[in-house]
Amino acid sequence: MALGTVVRDVYTNTERQAMHRTLRDLLPSGDWSKAGLYCYWNPQNGEALYIGLSKDLPLRFAQHNSLKGKPGQGNKAMEIDDWFQTHDRLGFSIVLQSALADDVYEGNTKLAEGQLIEGYRALHEKFPPWNKISGSTDGHQYVGTNTAIWFDFMTGAADGLVVARRTIRELNDDATADLNEGRIHTSRTGMNYLAIDRKLDDAAILAGLKDTVERDAQITPYLADLYDFEGLRDYLMQPAPHPERLDASEIDDEAAVRAD
């Protein structure tokens, strides 16, 4: 099944509250539901640490990061607290759904979580380190050759047009990029189900986007000016962000801050 738009970011121990505020500002919105998948991962080696789902991504982030609730009671706050004892940064990615999606009725995030956890287990013969159960068994039926690549998209190991051209925080600060991503999202979820050579078929996303823009322009002419295919294609040709990649000076600066 097509899972959605992947948005990556990396944060430090002192940035927990800032990331939470960003998620509250970004979700929900005119384009995005607050329900979706999320992944915690190791920025140093791209290892997926935990895959989860939530009907309220900002709230769930707060619970996992010791900002709400009690650590260890239905959350991964203890694991994240322990992580920051020995690491400077933690990767965090979300897989967004459209605001038009009815997650209560359709159960997309529940199915997708089961698909990804089972796909990971099938590939590695184990769960991600912080996962204890396999998620929805109904989602297992969707496991296929395209499943494992979604972990690579979420952890920065692979790039493709399902990955947003901005980080979570950049997307929240860039209204034009947010509008572009919302427009492209339909093509990501509606057109691109199959993996080819360990990447989703980017050509199918572009073809679907072109068809959608042209169709909508015929139905509602004013959209032709609002959504220009050439402009959206140029936007998609920008490189996917890699917040996990720091140069040596930035790593030294972060380590010094953490030591203080």
pLDDT at 14: 98
pLDDT at 255: 47
The per-residue pLDDT of the chain, averaged, comes to 83
State the Cα–Cα distance between residues 41 and 78, nearest whole angstrom.
Answer: 15
State the Cα–Cα distance between residues 159 and 200, nearest whole angstrom.
Answer: 9
Please count the other Cβ atoms lying within 10 Å of the Cβ belonging to residue 245. 10
Count the alpha carbons within 13 Å of 257 in the hemisphere toward its beta carbon: 14
Range of the structural domain that residue 106 is part of: 5-259
C-alpha dihedral sign at 112, 115, 119, 120? positive
pLDDT at 7: 98
Confidence label for 200 from pLDDT (cuts 50, 70 and 90): low
List residues bridging with 52 in a β-sheet. Answer: 38
pLDDT at 185 over 70: yes
Confidence label for 19 from pLDDT (cuts 50, 70 and 90): very high
Going by the DSSP 8-state scheme, the letter that residue 90 receives in this structure is E
pLDDT at 223 over 70: no
Cα–Cα nearest to 60, from 101, 129, 113, 106: 113
Please calculate the CA angle 225-29-27 and round it to the nearest 5 degrees. Answer: 140
Each residue's pLDDT tens digit, 95-133 = 998 887 655 444 566 666 667 777 777 777 788 899 887
Total count of domains within the chain = 1
pLDDT at 216: 79
State the Cα–Cα distance between residues 152 and 199, nearest whole angstrom.
Answer: 10
Each residue's pLDDT tens digit, 42-85 = 999 999 999 888 889 999 999 999 999 999 899 999 999 999 99
Residue ranges in the chain assigned as alpha helix (H): 16-26, 57-64, 77-86, 103-106, 108-124, 149-155, 168-173, 175-191, 202-219, 223-226, 229-236, 248-259
State the Cα–Cα distance between residues 233 and 180, nearest whole angstrom.
Answer: 10
pLDDT at 112: 64
State the Cα–Cα distance between residues 246 and 138, nearest whole angstrom.
Answer: 39
List the single range of 55-59, 74-78, 88-92, 199-203 with lowest mean pLDDT.
199-203
Q: Quote the tokens at residue 185.
A: 């999202």
Q: Quote the tokens at residue 248.
A: 């040596």
Residue ranges in 192-220 assigned as alpha helix (H): 202-219
Please count the other Cβ atoms lying within 10 Å of the Cβ belonging to residue 74. 9
Return the residue matching tokens 């496991």. Answer: 143
Confidence label for 134 from pLDDT (cuts 50, 70 and 90): low
pLDDT at 1: 43
pLDDT at 108: 60
- With contact defined as beta carbons under 8 Å apart, do 117 and 135 qualify? yes
Cα–Cα nearest to 88, from 214, 217, 260, 234: 260
Overall average pLDDT of the 132-150 stretch: 60
DSSP H/E element including 89: strand 89-98
List the single range of 59-63, 90-94, 161-165, 196-200 with lowest mean pLDDT.
196-200
pLDDT at 120: 78
pLDDT at 197 over 50: no
List the single range of 92-101, 125-134, 159-168, 235-244 with lowest mean pLDDT.
125-134
